Amino acid sequence: MSNKIELGIDIGRVVDGLSKIGYTTSSALCDIIDNSVRARAANFV
């Protein structure tokens, strides 16, 4: 028996919502890089 619950995510609504609050592509890329550095990632793809 699994306790997993799958949630259907509408990526279009997510992107629309993020863009409405001012989250840009460049902000997202900076967050990914920052999070990777903080996690001491060895590889960037």
Q: What is the pLDDT of residues 1-45, one digit of tens each?
A: 678 888 888 989 988 998 899 999 899 899 989 999 899 988 766
pLDDT of residue 5: 84
pLDDT of residue 4: 84
End-to-end CA distance of the chain: 36
* Helix ranges, the chain (H): 11-20, 25-38
Q: Is the dihedral of CA 17, 19, 23, 28 positive or negative?
A: positive
pLDDT of residue 13: 92
